[in-house]
Amino acid sequence: MNPAITSSTPLLACLASLAAVLPILLLRKSPNLRESATFVAGFIKFGLVVSMLPTILGGTQIEYTLWQILPNLSIAFRVDGLGMLFGLVASSLWILTSLYTIGYMRGLKEHSQTRFVAFFAVSLSATIGVAFSANLFTLYLFYEMLSLATYPLVTHHQDKEARTGGRTYLSYLLSTSIGFVLPAMIFVFLKTGSSMEFAEGGFLAGHVSGKEALILLLLFTFGFAKSGLMPFHSWLPAAMVAPTPVSALLHAVAVVKVGVFCVIRVFTGVFGLEFLKTMDIATIIAWAAAFTIVVSSLIALTQDNLKRRLAFSTIGQLSYIILGVALLSDRAVIGSMAHIAMHAVGKITLFMCAGAIFVASGKKYISQMDGLGKKMPITFAAFTIGSLSVIGLPPTGGLISKFYLVTGAMDAGQTALLIVFLVSTMLNAAYLLPIGYRAFFPKDPELARQPFSWKNTEEASLPCVLPLCITAGLALVLFIKPQFLLNLAGLMVGHGG
């Protein structure tokens, strides 16, 4: 057991954005003040998270028990390496997304911006809550909160399409969490009689039989449907009706990552890797993930709507993370955790670019983007960097996590799954790279002959473009300096990476 100190910082970090809801609502009459409230909360939140980083890297965990809600069971927070990693990703990207939101929402003159910003803040609280949960119960609580708080965001347009999308979104997420996770959690609670605190090496070993363990594992893995594992993935493309900032932060970072985060938590904190190894039940999950990777990549190839293509790409990438952890080898698990961050940075860049393209040119379909790179060079440059990161090519952070995943697969001796990684990487390249390439080197000779000039560029406004440049930059930085992420992930498997 790691040494731990008690501090209310995790709680405060979680509440920082929730507390911002009130000023946001009060300041609804003046958008500038309202946005500054968001930023203040964002920086406070990020500051609180970062302030815990040295302690965590030093191998100490931070605990805080808020309220004992049931006999034996409390709402409690604990920050460890994995939680820290996810918390960092989510809180830092929130600031950038908030900036981006201003550009996007005002650019399109969207309605009900106050509601949007307020629920955005609530969602972030839920995300950090998930990241810092100390036990399964707290995790579930914030997981549900996130599903509900994001519903108004997904359905923001309040039109027919949004209604259909919102229906799919909620019905998938709620039915799986109530139908699968809740009974599984209660069963675990009954079997172990414990407080369900996540522990290194899990707490389930010795309490359940092999068959029960398998059923529980399936219920948990598929129940956290936010991870987009097939066949419970349809909500993700459906949720793309949301305004792009939502897609960017929530559906490339917060919501989906909460899904895989929960799965990793269950694997490492509830079952424990050793227990899973002895039971030999994770293989079925690994194959489900492998199936998802290949199929979603193939579907992505056929999509013309940029956001939908990105959505299917996300489904595949999420399954990388699940596959990594299901391989049960230390390196693969580290790779999984690192991939949370790497993919987040890459994918948010792509989504922001998609939004920026829509704001500036009104174009949603890839086939319309021929030669657009000449009008929006910065955006498409960032898009290309993001693509590289998602595919896992140098010089981007994506390479690092992929490297760990692939070597992890070799450690685990799963040659077949290794091939899945390689094939899917090629598929990734096939559906992402042509977008950037065609934008700069259009097929149409007419367009190709047009000379490039900075004067002709029609970029989106600065609040739109700046954040995506920063995230693209981050993707590059993470290639050079991935060590602290790997250290955080390494804490979870018992050594420093």
End-to-end CA distance of the chain: 18
- The token pair at 346 is 């890459």
Concatenated DSSP letters of 389-426: HHHT-TTSTHHHHHHHHHHHHHHTT-HHHHHHHHHHHH
Tell me the two tokens of residue 243. Answer: 């305004």
Number of residues this chain uses to bind other proteins (CB under 8 A):
39
For residues 253 and 95, give the distance between their C-alpha atoms in angstroms, rounded to a whole number: 13
Question: Which of 111, 82, 83, 102 is CA-nearest to residue 42?
Answer: 102
Q: Give the Cα separation of 283 and 414 in Å (integer).
A: 10
CA–CA dist 55, 76 (Å, integer): 19
> How large is the C-alpha radius of gyration of the chain?
21
Q: What mask, x for binding other proteins by CB under 8 A, covers residues 39 to 78?
A: ----------------------------xxxxx-------
Return the number of the residue (183 or 210) whose C-beta is nearest other proteins: 183
**126-145: contacts with other proteins (CB under 8 A):** 140-141, 144
Name which position in 88, 170, 281, 470 contacts other proteins (CB under 8 A).
170
Minimum separation from the CB atom of position 362 to other proteins (A):
11
The one segment of 92-100, 153-161, 273-281, 401-409 that binds other proteins by CB under 8 A: 153-161
User: Which range, of 43-51, 77-85, 158-166, 197-205, touches other proteins by CB under 8 A?
Assistant: 158-166
* b/e per residue 12-50 (b: at least 16 CB within 10 A): bbbbbbbbbbebbeebbeeeeebbebbeebbebbbebbe
Bridge partners, 197 (sequence order)? 135
Q: How far is the CB of 111 from other proteins (least distance, A)?
A: 4
Does residue 277 belong to the site contacting other proteins (CB under 8 A)? Answer: no
| 111 contributes a contact to other proteins by CB under 8 A | yes
Footprint on residues 216-245 left by other proteins (CB under 8 A): none
- Rounded to a whole number of angstroms, the minimum distance from the CB of residue 217 to other proteins is 17
3-state DSSP call for residue 361? helix
Within 10 Å of residue 73's Cβ, how many Cβ atoms? 17
Check residue 195 for interaction with other proteins (CB under 8 A).
no
171 binds other proteins (CB under 8 A): yes
Q: Which stretch binds other proteins (CB under 8 A): 108-116, 256-264, 300-308, 433-441?
A: 108-116
Tokens representing residue 477 in the block: 């930085």
Nearer to other proteins, 155 or 319 (CB): 155
Q: Using CB under 8 A as the criterion, which residues of the chain lie in contact with other proteins when the complex forms? A: 28, 67-71, 108-114, 140-141, 144, 148, 152, 155, 157-160, 162-163, 166-167, 170-171, 174-175, 178-179, 182-183, 186-187, 189-190
